[in-house]
Amino acid sequence: MDYRIEHDSMGEMRVPADRYWGAQTQRSRENFRIGVGIETMPAEIIHAFGILKVAAARANHKLRPEKMTERKLACIEQAGTEVADGKLNGHFPLVVWQTGSGTQSNMNANEVIAARANEIDRESRADDGMPEENGKAPLCHPNDDINMSQSSNDTFPTAMHISAVLALKEQLLPAAEDLIRIFLELEDQSRGIVKSGRTHLQDAVPIAFSQEISGWRSSLQRDCEMIRRTLEPLCELALGGTAVGTGLNAPEGFAQLVAEEISRLTGETFVTAENKFHALTSKDEIVFAHGAVKAMAADMMKIANDVRWLASGPRCGLGEITIPENEPGSSIMPGKVNPTQCEQVTMVAVQVMGNDAAIGFAASQGNFELNVFMPVIAYNFLQSVRLLSQSIRSFAEHCAAGIRPVREKMEENLHRSLMLVTALNPYIGYENAAKVAKLAHREGLTLKESCVQLGFLTPEHFDEVFHPEKMV
């Protein structure tokens, strides 16, 4: 491998010649060989850095035009946009397990954007027939230009909030809304089907299958509402607080202007955080938002479990619905098919719940003017959103869209349920109805046979008052 020599305030470093990163990124690569190739900084964070660096350059150009010249701005805009669009992902090798402020990832962005901006400048000069400026410093410096008016302490939490908002709006909410649409269609198609309800995994009074589905659908709708409520706090940005929240080295008006530029670049309404001391040290907005994500995971766990219980069988289970048969379920039992989509949902839900614990612990560790657990918070948050989004889409496509009621089995189970006796309460009383149910269960009788045998109702009166389909 070919190398070039880069330097930072600590001295020289050998850097792969085909990469844009510089000395500080290389130091981090060598000092933090933890989870390499697996637990790297999420792409969403990298893309958010591209967005905020372009926005910062634009704000600096308006406030410090003598430092952020038109020429610098044009090159930084192009390089930062390439980062935001994911075109330079291969130049961001750093792992999550680094400094808790994310300084190395901020410098990774600064170095990559500076190197690419300088390359763009050289290409532009060559295209214009301008001679090389031998002996002169490159156009853009990672710290002085790309990081102008910023600190890692305010850029990393800003990248966290940008990436969180975009991930929720572009990944999780659309996935959940697609599943909601599938449930609405199934709900409409299932009207008029009455089945046995169940509580405590025991028979309960009847329920319409459409009502059962409506519970799934309504849970997801409520989850989406809660997630949307978390977006406004997440749209408050720490950028402009610099190192400790005082805004040192940032010109007046920078915080407001850069939030406006980020809004233009993303199409979302971001604002500067009112209190930067809070914004740098507290991660409560992320905790709040992930709580809503966890709520959706909990509901998906419940829905997936309902579906696999209802589809259990095919002969020794409930068997009230069928789900798509996607792959063989056993290496030894021929013909076995398992509810694999339900299983992936429940495993993802467990991961999200674990991530929530990690985020909560990490967010509690803000000391004085900075939280130094930010990379692990960002990693877990974005993993939760990514996994849950993909899980819901997979479940929707490969399971929910193919759910079909087995009417005959639902009707059979409904009429075998002893809890239909509840319909007799107004006519013979709770205690007598309990006697009917116990006798029927003990001697294998129907409710009608038991009620008549005990002398509580005549056969004709029983038929007159006993209508399970009306109990929903």
Residues forming the active site:
200, 330
In order, the DSSP letters of 285-306 are HHHHHHHHHHHHHHHHHHHHHH
Q: Give the count of beta carbons closer than 10 Å to the beta carbon of residue 177.
A: 13
CB atoms within 10 A of CB 149: 25
444 dihedral zone (left: phi>0; alpha: psi -120 to 50; beta): left
Alpha helices in 64-172 (DSSP H): 70-84, 103-127, 152-167
Q: For 294, phi and psi rounded to 5 degrees?
A: -65, -35
Structure tokens at 432: 């007598």
Going by the DSSP 8-state scheme, the letter that residue 95 receives in this structure is B
Q: Are 140 and 72 in contact (CB under 8 A)?
A: yes
Residue 390 structure tokens: 């993909």
H or E stretch covering 189? helix 173-189
401 class by beta-carbon count within 10 Å (0-12 exposed, 13-18 middle, 19+ buried): middle
Pair of tokens at residue 471: 């109990």
Give dist(CA 210, CA 202) in Å, integer: 20
Residue 102, both tokens? 């994310």
Query: What are the structure tokens assigned to 349, written together?
Result: 């839900």
Q: Measure the CA–CA gap between 294 and 354, rounded to whole angstroms.
A: 9
Rounded Cα distance, 345 and 255, in Å: 41
Cα 266 to Cα 276: distance, rounded to the nearest angstrom: 22
Q: What is the DSSP letter of 190?
A: T
DSSP secondary structure code for residue 138 in this structure: P
Q: Decide: helix, strand or coil at residue 363.
A: helix
Q: Which two tokens stand for residue 391?
A: 């899980």
**CB-based contacts of 4: which residues, under 8 Å, 6+ apart?**
14, 15, 17
- Locus of tokens 């069988």: 313
